[in-house]
Structure 1
Amino acid sequence: MQDAYPLNDAVRDYFGSDVSGELWTDIGRLQRQDYLTVMFGIVEYFSKHMDSGGRIIDPYAQREIQYATPGYAAAAALLFDVLGGARMLETAAKALTTSLRELVTKTCPVGTSNFFITMVVFAFEHLREHVSDEQVRFWKSEFAQLHWPHVHLPTINNWHIIALSGEQLRARIGLGPALTATEVDRYLAPHLELLTDYGMYVDPNGPMAYDLFTRKYLKLMLLNGYDGQFKEHLTEFLRRGDLTSLFLQGPTGEMPAGGRSSHHQWNEALQCFHFETAATQYALAGDLRAAGAFRRAAHLSLAAVRRWVRQSGELSIVKNWADPAARTGYEVYSHHSQYNLFTAYLLGVAYVHVDDTIEERACPAETGNHAIWIEPYFHKLFVNVRGNYVQVQTRGEPSYDPTGIVRIQHKGVFAPLGPSNGVPTKHGSGIAFAPAWRNPHRYINDNNPRRFTSERDIVSGGTVRMADLTDFHSVSIDAHVEQRKADKIVVQVEYRGTMGGVFLLKRVLTVTPEAVIVTDEAVGHVDSFTEEIPLLVFDGEHRVDVHFAEKRLDAALGQDRLAVYVLDSAPVQWSKHDPVAFRNGMLSFASYDTVGRTSSYLVYLYRAAEPVTDQRLIELGKE
């Protein structure tokens, strides 16, 4: 890649500093075997949902879903290869046979053949030494009938890359008429335009999950012998991507929120794969400091997945405890079977690359000190000061992300109280840490208020909510670090343009190891200024205990706690708003009006048996 890596300074500063004395989150001493434990629970659960033909039947949709069956074959094959068990072998072989037959007959559910090949090759490699020669010959005969049109549904972006990766894998071990190296390069070439200087892949609308997803399949190609004309380019791209993901990971181990498929467990399973492979590569190069950081990041990711194991052994596929039948936080394409088994497969691929001799070292998620603004395409700002972490969606997207602060996390606080994501405008109203204002032009009919989501709407006055502003192309956005010290980072985000009476909105974020202070100032013609504070109220199983006092609100889920304290001098009157379903359960928001056009408040996440005092919050606000 020709341009310099934008995070060179952040990487150099972090690995050149001594963070050995920083406190880490207690997640237990995780080992390679822990990957298998999570996989086993998933596979054991879905073995009970295999029909006589070897297909995995989703217990809620009551049909075979997408690539659930090859996902089962891959995960079960590895489990048998490592742990044994006659029933595991029988069901893995049955699922592999069925998956290959669906490929040959072009009957893969809803046209998901692109996803099958990497999984069936993985299953074949882990089963071929444990079955009869006759069975191996039959499987090879099935592979031999697969030509590119069989396995590649014509499409663009990540679906195309996964099919190319499958071709690379089967070419390596001679499973049928795979694409030649020249053909792979020809298909791969256009995708180079979607590789950014940060080492990120741009899928439509910049979803974080499908950046990491696509990189996984590009990395699989290199790990399986890709030696084409783009090898050097992809090697550098993936090196950068591993480091970017390391520095964007949150202290709870989660991948950044944003876009399609956010908050699905396979997000963190992907991190496990990338971080474990990176740890091994850095260790082989002799850089044990970086290798240990990636190992710790992988363990944080695995711990994030393990947090969502259900009593029945499988996972809640999205990070909430609602009944899977309710599909809370799901995408249209999300199903209990395929995303559980895809997660199991990814954990298996990570397991293969684990080196347990690499010792954990401190990683940026828990001990970092950086501010990173990912532009263009992704529109995300990240600030992390020693495990106190803020994610800002600087420019929202109507279907997935509001404009504003969408995530605040603190190491050791695992409940998504921060919250862990906002609510997009497609649900009626965007919800984020974001201000709202009323311009001087009154409603014609106050009984029929309008909300404004774009410049086109802001023509006749009314209330403008920053969280709803997702289509404001004439508004310029700038984010820059005002101050950076070992225990504090101050970032200013400025919005300039026509925003319903506001011409300049300045947001100053002051992040310390303990607190986040938000100061908003509006310049323009406004009658009133309001701050909106997101509130998790239900995680699908547990109600959040919420209390309001004069200048503060508190939320508690178990011993995980959130306190918000208004730093303005004037009295505060809180308003509460109706909750809506979102990724983590139900999210509401509270709001308060200010006297002028500026306001400051403090957000404090902590774990304790008792609430923190007002005086302590005031002290934190002065730091």
Structure 2
Amino acid sequence: MSSYTATATYPWKNELEKYRALAAEAGSASADGWSRERKLALVKQIVCAYTKYQDSHGAIIDPYSGMERYYSTPAYAMAAAVLVDAGHIELLDSASAALSYSIDAVASGSAPDNHPDFFPVLMMRAYMMLRSYRPDQAAIWAEALRTIDPENDYVFTMSKMNNANRMINWNAIMISGEYLRWSEHLASEDTTWMDRYLEAYHLPRFTPLGLYQDGPLDRPNCPFSYDIATRYHLEVMLDGGYEGAVADALRERLNHGAFSSLLMLSPLGEIPPRGRSSQHQWNEAAAAYVCSVHAKLAMQAGDSVMAGAFARAANRCFEAVERWLMPDGRLKIVRNEYAPEKRHGYEVYTNHTCYNLWTAAALAHACLRDSDEGIVQFYLPSEIGNRVLQADGWFETVLASVPGQQLVLHTALNDPYTIPGLVRVQQAGLPGLIGPSAAGHVQAGFTEFAEGVVRPLSYCPAWKTTDGVWHSLAEGIPSGSTYDRDAGIDPANGGGSILFKVATRTGESSAENELQETVTAVSSNIVKSPTELAARTAAEQATGRTAEEATLNHEENDFEVIWTGPLPGMRSIITRYVQQADELMVTYTFEGEIEAVGAVIPLMFSDGREQAVITYTEHSVRTEYLGAYVESTIQDAKAVIQLSPQEVASRNGLLKQARMEVYDAQQLTFTIRLGRI
């Protein structure tokens, strides 16, 4: 069998190949019920929910604002055009009217909310799908499309901004559509100008893992949402035949990014949360397209295992979106149950209509590249084997998975939006929000909340200093500069650092084990002190196991994050995680002058419709929600648990906080269990 894989420079190459071997050994997975017909039916439900909001000119009107917003109309045109080509001819007039209106908006400079950069890929795909059905109208469309001048008709161009830091996802998304326009012989210039933009402003943003760092070039803020959205559009460009000056370099980065997406996908089909626009449905719709493209490429390369894995990943992304379908066919565009008009967890720019239709368009794109016909599915990385992965660049994220369960930790100490700690626990067969699935914030950034206070809340260490004040790691450290929600924060700012360590087997046939170390953030020369070594020994004694013993279990992870920096009263904190499918054991070891140690436990409380039931005893706290539970239990007999009545705002609704406290100690251990009631 041929191998569809990453190059030798790919940082997760070993993990990718270990996964491939496990998947091949396990054999094919059972079918999941996702056919192309079912996928198109999901797209149709969303599209038809908005047909009634189309005005006499072809524009889609947002029912909440009474206006056309952003790129709702071209997204509708594109998704409806795919449905027309799939046999839903009743949508032809509606799709054609939306396309005509969209082309006129760009040509006349009247795109809603000054967002023309998102139009071209949607317009061009709709044009390519509809022209054979309306040949006379297609000639009019083509004539208007030929009048577009990219440098002057779009917003995020160097002619308009003259600022390299502003050549962000908007510019890449625009270029993908402009390539399609050129490929259809509707543009006078060749691809040289696109090559220049890609080489100067977009290729440098990619990490070795193939992740796209959005935000200013010198201070990327790295939302996973705009990583996947940008890669989705650049994949459209490559899939459309782009072979310009940087095609090979772009192809390698996108291939690496696709493998990273596969390895990071949760068992529920969700990409990791981080940064603005996380947990919007279009995140997974974009991932569905990327996975569909690479299922096809793997199949063409003769690699049935990777083809089956990518096809299953695409299906799981569709399922993640379908889960939030409302009875009228629209989606809850953010993963909570608040009414859309409440805008809970929305960004200031989130529009319910636009993002529903942008999601539908991305899913429609995935349907065009659907490759599961004839492809036998293979288990996902989150369903088989165990791995601990550290994202590169400024993504500052650690992901750990055992079969059916994934943890997501954020390690940024100085970012008041993306706070440190364990922020997500997701498990197959359980509600996605119960873990919980999102953290609180020090500052809300772009995000709006209908209720709840904004405060940092994650699974993280807490401690009481000698002045009687409680602190938590989630509070982070000052970065030394004013928070700017448009830009990222250099991990070195503020003087903090982390040391990430994972127990790993070295050599397939060797019984020897070692602790593999990766240093991030400030210091590249961190030396283990005697106190740190003693703390690790104490942590191993608390769990009754050594790191070496943990490596013998292929369905268990054992890893540490050591936090140092200007933390009040604290020199360093070691957080150790031993993850098994039925239990997560967490040990915090503190080095500092303190009165008590603690563990902050975030509790899912409300999704905006369903309220969880929270109970606690002296040693455990339990959340029950939608027939499932999460229970955290502290191991120290002297411990007490404090439950705060305060309701904390999160993307998914409201959280509450419990704090486990142990006095006259330097360490504590607790377990987390999830299951069905």
Give the TM-score normalised by the residue count of structure 1: 0.90
**CA, structure 1 residues 433+598, in 2 after alignment: closer, same or farther (shift >3 Å)?**
same
Q: Which residues in structure 2 correspond to 1:113-512 (within 5 Å)?
A: 113-131=116-134, 133-148=135-150, 149-154=152-157, 155-177=166-188, 179-190=189-200, 191-204=202-215, 205-355=221-371, 356-396=373-413, 398=415, 400-427=417-444, 428-441=454-467, 453-455=476-478, 473-482=494-503, 483=547, 484=551, 485-512=553-580
**CA, structure 1 residues 429+42, in 2 after alignment: closer, same or farther (shift >3 Å)?**
same
Query: In the alignment, which residue of structure 1 is the partner of 2:672?
Result: 603
Tell me the CA shift for residue 414 of structure 1.
Answer: 2.6
Distance, in Å, in 1 between the alignment partners of 2:99 and 2:648 is 41
Query: In the alignment, which residue of structure 1 is the partner of 2:162?
Result: none
SS of alignment partner, residue 615 of structure 2: strand
Distance, in Å, in 2 between the alignment partners of 1:85 and 1:453 is 56
Contact 1:253/1:304 (CA < 8 Å) preserved in 2?
yes
Q: Deviations over 1:514-568 (max 9, x none)?
A: 2211111110111222211111111121111221123212212222221111122
**CA, structure 1 residues 19+417, in 2 after alignment: closer, same or farther (shift >3 Å)?**
farther
Tell me the CA shift for residue 2 of structure 1.
Answer: 9.2
Contact 2:235/2:254 (CA < 8 Å) preserved in 1?
yes
- Structure 1 residues not aligned, in runs of 5+: 458-469, 611-623
Contact 1:3/1:197 (CA < 8 Å) preserved in 2?
no
**CA, structure 1 residues 281+23, in 2 after alignment: closer, same or farther (shift >3 Å)?**
closer
Distance, in Å, in 1 between the alignment partners of 2:229 and 2:255 is 15
> Kindly, what percent of the aligned residue pairs are identical?
30
Tell me the CA shift for residue 14 of structure 1.
Answer: 1.1
Distance, in Å, in 2 between the alignment partners of 1:514 and 1:209 is 30
Query: In the alignment, which residue of structure 2 is the partner of 1:617?
Result: none
Tell me the CA shift for residue 134 of structure 1.
Answer: 2.5
Higher mean C-alpha deviation, range 581-590 or range 158-167: 581-590
SS of alignment partner, residue 640 of structure 2: coil
- The equivalent position to 1:82 in structure 2, one of 37, 62, 86, is 86
Query: In the alignment, which residue of structure 2 is the partner of 1:48?
Result: 52
Query: In the alignment, which residue of structure 1 is the partner of 2:9?
Result: 4
Contact 2:385/2:555 (CA < 8 Å) preserved in 1?
no
**CA, structure 1 residues 2+241, in 2 after alignment: closer, same or farther (shift >3 Å)?**
closer
Contact 2:28/2:376 (CA < 8 Å) preserved in 1?
no
Distance, in Å, in 1 between the alignment partners of 2:651 and 2:414 is 16
SS of alignment partner, residue 594 of structure 2: coil
Distance, in Å, in 1 between the alignment partners of 2:61 and 2:555 is 52
Distance, in Å, in 1 between the alignment partners of 2:141 and 2:174 is 19
Contact 2:455/2:648 (CA < 8 Å) preserved in 1?
no
Distance, in Å, in 2 between the alignment partners of 1:6 and 1:339 is 33
Tell me the CA shift for residue 226 of structure 1.
Answer: 1.0
AA at the equivalent of 1:526: I
Tell me the CA shift for residue 115 of structure 1.
Answer: 0.4
2:612 counterpart of 1:566: no
Distance, in Å, in 1 between the alignment partners of 2:265 and 2:12 is 14
Contact 1:373/1:379 (CA < 8 Å) preserved in 2?
yes
Tell me the CA shift for residue 400 of structure 1.
Answer: 3.1
Contact 2:415/2:479 (CA < 8 Å) preserved in 1?
no
Distance, in Å, in 1 between the alignment partners of 2:266 and 2:287 is 12
Distance, in Å, in 2 between the alignment partners of 1:535 and 1:397 is 24
Distance, in Å, in 1 between the alignment partners of 2:289 and 2:475 is 42
Higher mean C-alpha deviation, range 313-322 or range 569-578: 569-578
**CA, structure 1 residues 545+19, in 2 after alignment: closer, same or farther (shift >3 Å)?**
farther
Distance, in Å, in 1 between the alignment partners of 2:108 and 2:356 is 25
Contact 1:454/1:471 (CA < 8 Å) preserved in 2?
no
Q: Deviations over 1:29-82 (max 9, x none)?
A: 111112211111111111111112211111112211100010001011111111
**CA, structure 1 residues 571+123, in 2 after alignment: closer, same or farther (shift >3 Å)?**
same
Distance, in Å, in 2 between the alignment partners of 1:539 and 1:333 is 21
Tell me the CA shift for residue 574 of structure 1.
Answer: 2.7
Contact 1:497/1:504 (CA < 8 Å) preserved in 2?
yes
AA at the equivalent of 1:430: P
**CA, structure 1 residues 27+557, in 2 after alignment: closer, same or farther (shift >3 Å)?**
farther
AA at the equivalent of 2:37: Q
Higher mean C-alpha deviation, range 566-575 or range 91-100: 566-575
Q: Deviations over 1:559-597 (max 9, x none)?
A: 222111112232423322411232111122111211212
Q: Deviations over 1:341-386 (max 9, x none)?
A: 0000000110001121111111102214110011331000011011
Tell me the CA shift for residue 167 of structure 1.
Answer: 1.2
Q: Deviations over 1:267-303 (max 9, x none)?
A: 1111110111111100110000111011111111111
Tell me the CA shift for residue 22 of structure 1.
Answer: 9.2
Q: Deviations over 1:171-227 (max 9, x none)?
A: 1111243x4121211121112211110011111211101111111121111111111
Distance, in Å, in 1 between the alignment partners of 2:240 and 2:185 is 12
Tell me the CA shift for residue 83 of structure 1.
Answer: 2.4
AA at the equivalent of 2:208: D
Distance, in Å, in 2 between the alignment partners of 1:217 and 1:365 is 26
Contact 1:516/1:604 (CA < 8 Å) preserved in 2?
yes
Distance, in Å, in 2 between the alignment partners of 1:455 and 1:125 is 51
Q: Which residues in structure 2 correspond to 1:512-527 (within 5 Å)?
A: 512-527=580-595
Give the TM-score normalised by the residue count of structure 2: 0.83
Q: Deviations over 1:313-340 (max 9, x none)?
A: 1100001111000001100110111000
Query: In the alignment, which residue of structure 2 is the partner of 1:466?
Result: none
Q: Deviations over 1:460-493 (max 9, x none)?
A: xxxxxxxxxx996312211111343312110010
**CA, structure 1 residues 577+471, in 2 after alignment: closer, same or farther (shift >3 Å)?**
farther
Distance, in Å, in 1 between the alignment partners of 2:20 and 2:479 is 47
**CA, structure 1 residues 493+579, in 2 after alignment: closer, same or farther (shift >3 Å)?**
same
Distance, in Å, in 1 between the alignment partners of 2:101 and 2:641 is 62
2:659 counterpart of 1:591: yes
2:61 counterpart of 1:57: yes
Distance, in Å, in 1 between the alignment partners of 2:576 and 2:120 is 49
Distance, in Å, in 1 between the alignment partners of 2:495 and 2:155 is 40
Distance, in Å, in 2 between the alignment partners of 1:267 and 1:116 is 18
**CA, structure 1 residues 560+566, in 2 after alignment: closer, same or farther (shift >3 Å)?**
same
Contact 1:199/1:239 (CA < 8 Å) preserved in 2?
yes
Distance, in Å, in 2 between the alignment partners of 1:429 and 1:109 is 35
Distance, in Å, in 1 between the alignment partners of 2:579 and 2:237 is 40
Distance, in Å, in 1 between the alignment partners of 2:558 and 2:96 is 56
Distance, in Å, in 1 between the alignment partners of 2:577 and 2:136 is 65
Higher mean C-alpha deviation, range 91-100 or range 482-491: 482-491
